[in-house]
Amino acid sequence: MLAASCMMYSCATKTGENPFLSEFQTPNGVPPFDQIKLEHYEPAFLKGIEEQNANIQAIIDNAEAPTFENVIVAFDNSSPIFDRVAGVFYNLTEAETNDQLSALEMKLAPIVSEHGDNISLNQALFRKIKAVYQQKDSLNLNREQERLLDKVYKDFVRSGANLDAEKQARLREINKQLSTLGITFGNNVLNENNEFKLYVEKEEDLAGLPEWFRQSAASEAKADGQESKWLFTLHNASRLPFLQYAANRPLREQIYKAYINRGNNKDKNDNQQVIADIVSLRLEKAKLLGFDCYSNFTLENKMAKDSKTVMEFLHNLWSYALPKAKAEAAELQKLMDKEGKGEKLEAWDWWYYTEKLRKEKYNLEEEDLKPYFKLENVREGAFTVANKLYGITLTKMEGVPVYHPDVEVFEVKDSDGSQLGIFYVDYFPRPGKRGGAWMSNYREQQGETRPLICNVCSFTKPVGDTPSLLTLDEVQTLFHEFGHALHGLLTKCQYKGTSGTNVVRDFVELPSQINEHWATEPEVLKMYAKHYQTGETIPDALIEKIQEQMTFNQGFMTTELLAAAILDMNLHNLTTTEGLDVMAYEKEAMDKLGLIPEIAPRYRTTYFNHIIGGYAAGYYSYLWANVLDNDAFEAFKEKGIFDQETAGLFRSNVLEKGDSEEPMTLYKNFRGAEPQLEAMLKNRGMK
């Protein structure tokens, strides 16, 4: 079979045909990145739209009585070409974009938006869906089928299917504008990231920076055509170590301010009006659909259900987090006072003095840990944990087409040898990649079709003979994103619309965040944390220090996360946007909370990419799911972190189920009860 697949693959390479227009003629149906060209995307999108329109017309024209099969399943399967091209295109616009791809994304956005509206506002199609929905109690559907039917029907209603013609026309216009504004916003942030370059020419300005980081900065400068200098950027892998170690306070201030003012410099990349327009249009859309504000519209189908529930949850956590953050600030100020310079703690000092305090309190520095966190070993650790929990194996594949040389590919198999999917990893920052880390897919799981999943991150690159050595935070990020990947890889659903990570936002972070817990368990650290030069296993003394400092700086981390979540909610709780000045509004909102000036929200309004994507009125999800993941991990701690029965329950009730059941039902099926807040507060050092 493999030989036949390879033959088909080589034949396809010789033809000039558009690879998106049929199933990929490759082993495992992976995207043929070596054949895909810029000129293939637009015709494939247009052909995909044409194909889906024809399939929808066939549903409408079907003379038989509407059934779950001939309406709902047919609709779920209506867009093969569109799904193929969109899966590749939208991953690349995030991970490996360029000017041509960005321009094409902007050109296609209104076309794709209009196509979505043409479907969701198609009255003949909606009548068929409604007919099935109205007889759902007599159809003998299983739970997953009920969920899919419910989801499809409600999505149409929430997309304006019940509105009159005039309101539908306005809704189309809003959606079209939002589609391009979102791209403009993201491109502006990417440009800001790429355009800031802090060149250091004097070696004395590098005081405090570790040798590996100096080498990395020299290598970056050289690659940018500036020999004998050091280059620092706004990418996490550059900015955070600089803030952590640089003794030069004015330079720390410069890089910090550049970061927190992205999109807010009154230049060509300014996002103030862009985000104001987005918030205004979202509010108008919510009101068209019968809601008082956008947050209540978007939360209606989430676990939280409404804005009031979310705000109460966030303000409750705030009452624990802010006092802890203030106590941490006071400790840092004492440390500064000891230096006798008469300086007051500022936001750009936080990382630097936190690192000094860590050393003083725990005799631990990030530099002590990094040699044990070689990227490949950490990844192997995450794979080993998955093997011990779920019996799965990941084997590196060679010769699979990739979109960039940094990308590696793994075949994922279950304990019985059956294939679960293909897994791509892309770990290093570059100009065409937006910052941060995420999981996505090139193909959804559906019935017998297994998924193609990717993790994209921005970790420190290898330099010379030194491999990529991760910080503890990056280690947890790798485990986090791999947790999302497991959710995508282990899913066992019949329908695309319910499979994998197609779950509500405030549940989707449970599989990722619970996976982080294993990263720092002593038993797991001994499995993967080996010194990159000597191969020595991380000593018990260091493991103890990691455990001791798990709640260290958690006031800061929880407060900056909460501030961003509350800012997101405030923007989307607005019931009028007349005269909205987003930065003035942000300041007012943060002042009202009592946020201390030494801490900024983790994301400020003008570079808050999450709320432009799927996390609008949803950034709280990380904290909501943090309650779930801490409570869930208690189940493992009670019986042993590799207890097979507990792992089996988590796999069968959460990882395999996708959106085939109510999230709280799935959680209770695993845990036996609703989650409690105590474990989260304890693990963040707030109780």
pLDDT tens per residue, range 635-668 = 999 999 999 999 999 999 999 999 999 999 999 9
Assess if residue 583 is contained within a domain: yes
Q: What are residue 446's DSSP bridge partners?
A: 449
Domain range for residue 204? 196-260
- Between the CA of residue 144 and those of 128, 423, 496, 651, what are the distances in Å? 20, 26, 11, 17
Q: Are 357 and 382 part of one and the same domain?
A: no
Q: Quick one: which H or E segment has residue 650?
A: helix 644-650
3-state secondary structure of 642: coil
**DSSP annotation string for 168-180:** HHHHHHHHHHHHH
Q: How large a percentage of the chain has pLDDT more than 70?
A: 98
The domain boundary residue, chosen from 564, 598, 619? 619
Q: SS3 string of 471-507?
A: CHHHHHHHHHHHHHHHHHHHCCCCCHHHCCCCCCHHH
pTM: 0.94
Q: What gap in Å lies between CA 82 and CA 516, rounded to an integer?
A: 34
Cβ pair 333, 344 in contact under 8 A: yes
The torsion region of residue 208 among left (phi > 0), alpha (psi -120 to 50) and beta comes to left
Q: What are residue 408's DSSP bridge partners?
A: 425
- Residues marked active site are found at 481
Q: Give residue 14's pLDDT.
A: 34
Q: Give residue 137's pLDDT.
A: 96
Q: Are 356 and 396 part of one and the same domain?
A: no
Residue 91 predicted with pLDDT over 70: yes
Give 97-105's long-range contacts (Cβ < 8 A, gap of 24+).
Answer: 97/190, 97/432, 97/433, 98/432, 100/38, 101/38, 102/183, 102/187, 104/38, 104/41, 104/42, 105/183
- Mean pLDDT across the stretch 483-502? 98
Band the pLDDT of 464: cuts 50, 70, 90: confident
Do you know the residue count of the chain? Answer: 687
- Mean pLDDT across the stretch 478-484? 98
Q: Token pair for residue 3?
A: 């030989």
CATH code, domain with 360: 1.10.1370.10
Q: What are residue 455's DSSP bridge partners?
A: 425, 439
CATH code, domain with 142: 1.20.1050.40
3-state secondary structure of 228: coil
Q: Which amino acid belongs to residue 26?
A: T
Q: Which amino acid belongs to residue 362?
A: Y
Q: Give residue 478's pLDDT.
A: 98
Assess if residue 27 is contained within a domain: yes
Candidates 240, 220, 234; CA nearest to 471 is: 240
Q: Are 642 and 544 part of one and the same domain?
A: yes
Q: Give residue 16's pLDDT.
A: 61
Q: What gap in Å lies between CA 111 and CA 175, rounded to an integer?
A: 11
Report the alpha-carbon angle 82-83-85, nearest 5. Answer: 65
Total structural domains in the chain? 5
Phi, psi of 420 (to 5 degrees): -95, -25
Q: Are 357 and 244 part of one and the same domain?
A: no
Phi, psi of 47 (to 5 degrees): -70, -40
Q: Are 11 and 70 part of one and the same domain?
A: no
Q: Are 521 and 533 part of one and the same domain?
A: yes
Band the pLDDT of 1: cuts 50, 70, 90: very low
Report the alpha-carbon angle 460-466-472, nearest 5. Answer: 45
**What is the b/e burial string over 72-103, where b = at least 16 CB atoms within 10 angstroms of the residue's CB?**
bbbbbebbbbbbbbbbbbebbbbbbbeeebbe
**DSSP annotation string for 136-197:** GGGS---HHHHHHHHHHHHHHHHTTTTS-HHHHHHHHHHHHHHHHHHHHHHHHHHHHHHH--
Q: Give residue 9's pLDDT.
A: 29
Query: What digits encode the pLDDT tens for the residues 444-454?
Result: 999 999 999 99
Q: Give residue 613's pLDDT.
A: 87
Q: Are 531 and 571 part of one and the same domain?
A: no
The domain boundary residue, chosen from 226, 260, 294? 260
Q: What gap in Å lies between CA 542 and CA 291, rounded to an integer?
A: 53
Phi, psi of 413 (to 5 degrees): -125, 150
Query: What digits encode the pLDDT tens for the residues 577-613?
Result: 999 999 999 999 999 999 999 999 999 999 999 999 8
Assess if residue 180 is contained within a domain: no
Residue 4 predicted with pLDDT over 80: no
Those residues whose C-beta lies under 8 Å from the C-beta of residue 575, and which sit 6 or more positions away, are 283, 292, 293
Assess if residue 285 is contained within a domain: yes
Assess if residue 172 is contained within a domain: no
Q: Are 501 and 638 part of one and the same domain?
A: yes
Q: SS3 string of 68-123?
A: HHHHHHHHHCCCHHHHHHHHHHHHHHHHCCCHHHHHHHHHHHHHHHHHHHHHHCCH
Assess if residue 636 is contained within a domain: yes
> CA-based Rg of the chain, rounded to a whole angstrom?
25
Mean per-residue pLDDT of the chain:
96
- Mean pLDDT across the stretch 235-261? 97
Q: Count CA atoms within 13 Å of residue 359 on its CB side.
A: 13
Cβ pair 501, 487 in contact under 8 A: yes
Q: Are 6 and 109 part of one and the same domain?
A: no
Q: Are 468 and 527 part of one and the same domain?
A: yes
The domain boundary residue, chosen from 119, 144, 162? 162
Band the pLDDT of 11: cuts 50, 70, 90: very low
More confident residue, 651 or 10: 651
**DSSP annotation string for 657-669:** TTTSS-HHHHHHH
Those residues whose C-beta lies under 8 Å from the C-beta of residue 339, and which sit 6 or more positions away, are none
Q: Are 200 and 212 part of one and the same domain?
A: yes
Q: Are 513 and 655 part of one and the same domain?
A: yes
Q: Give residue 424's pLDDT.
A: 98
Q: Give residue 2's pLDDT.
A: 30
Helices of type H across 538-604: 540-548, 554-573, 582-593
Band the pLDDT of 687: cuts 50, 70, 90: confident
- Mean pLDDT across the stretch 190-201? 96
Q: Which amino acid belongs to residue 670?
A: F
Assess if residue 187 is contained within a domain: no
